[in-house]
Amino acid sequence: MAKINVNGRVHDVSAEPDTPLLWVLREQVGLTGTKYGCGVAQCGACTVHIDGAPVRSCALPLAAVQPSQKITTIEGLSHDGSHPLQKAWVQLDVPQCGYCQSGMIMAAAALLKDKPRPTDADIDASITNICRCGTFNRVRAAIKQAAGDTRVASLDIVHVHRSTT
Ligand code: FES
Ligand code: FES
């Protein structure tokens, strides 16, 4: 039995010490917003915060998490979707399939905490998450919008209509 603090609540969990935190969060705490992508710390789909720092939870064993450490998942970023990133994500219609997006938002939230007005280079260096749908341009625009960069008020999305005749 171990104790973990997730989104402000302490949970008693029962898992082998080498169980990745990702599976403890999903299967024991019941928070399924954090996704499994690669399982080898490459894609970022499983990103959560530990004491505010982004961590790839698929590669972090439960035994490495101390009860005093504060874990934040996508469910804990805000209670009502009011985090500036969540609002920007909706306004710019960022997700495609959506699978990678919790991890993207958590990585972006950590970046904005560290650098409230990130440059393109900051974003490229910090957001190493992989999106198979290729939403990278919209992710970047949404991060800038959430950061209050008024130069990115909107992102033009061109819809191509093909004639069937
Ligand atoms: S599932 Fe953790 S980095 Fe891909
Ligand atoms: S939105 Fe589909 S993988 Fe990123």
Summarised one tens digit per residue, pLDDT across range 81-97 is: 999 999 999 999 999 99
| Percent above pLDDT 90 for the chain | 88
For residue 19, the model assigns a pLDDT of 98
Average pLDDT, the chain: 92
| Cα 58 to ligand 1 centroid, rounded to whole Å | 5
Label residue 165 by pLDDT band (50, 70, 90).
very low
For 2-77, the fitting CATH number among 3.90.230.10, 3.40.50.300, 3.10.20.30, 3.30.470.30 is 3.10.20.30
Residue 93: what pLDDT?
97
User: Do residues 143 and 87 lie in contact, with contact meaning Cβ atoms separated by under 8 Å?
Assistant: no
Q: Is the pLDDT of residue 155 over 80?
A: no
Query: What is the reported pLDDT for 153?
Result: 45
User: From the CB of 42, is ligand 1 less than 6 Å away?
Assistant: yes
Choosing from 101, 105, 129, 137 the residue with most ligand 2 atoms within 8 A of its CB, the one to mutate for a pocket test is 101
Contacts for 66 with CB less than 8 Å, ≥ 6 apart: none
Using one digit for the tens of pLDDT, what is the confidence trace for 18-43?
Answer: 999 999 999 999 999 999 999 999 99
pTM above 0.85, yes or no: yes
pLDDT for 101 equals 98
Residue 150: per-residue pLDDT: 63
Residue type, 138: R
Q: Report yes or no: 17 and 62 within 8 Å, Cβ to Cβ.
A: yes
For the Cβ of 23 lying below 6 angstroms from any atom of ligand 1, the answer is no
| Closest ligand 1 atom to Cα of 59 | 2
- Please report which ligand is nearest the Cα atom of 35: 1
CATH class as words, domain 84-146: mainly alpha
Name the residue ranges covered by the structural domains of the chain.
2-77, 84-146
Separation of CA 96 and ligand 1 centre (Å): 19
Determine the average pLDDT of the residues in 64-77: 97
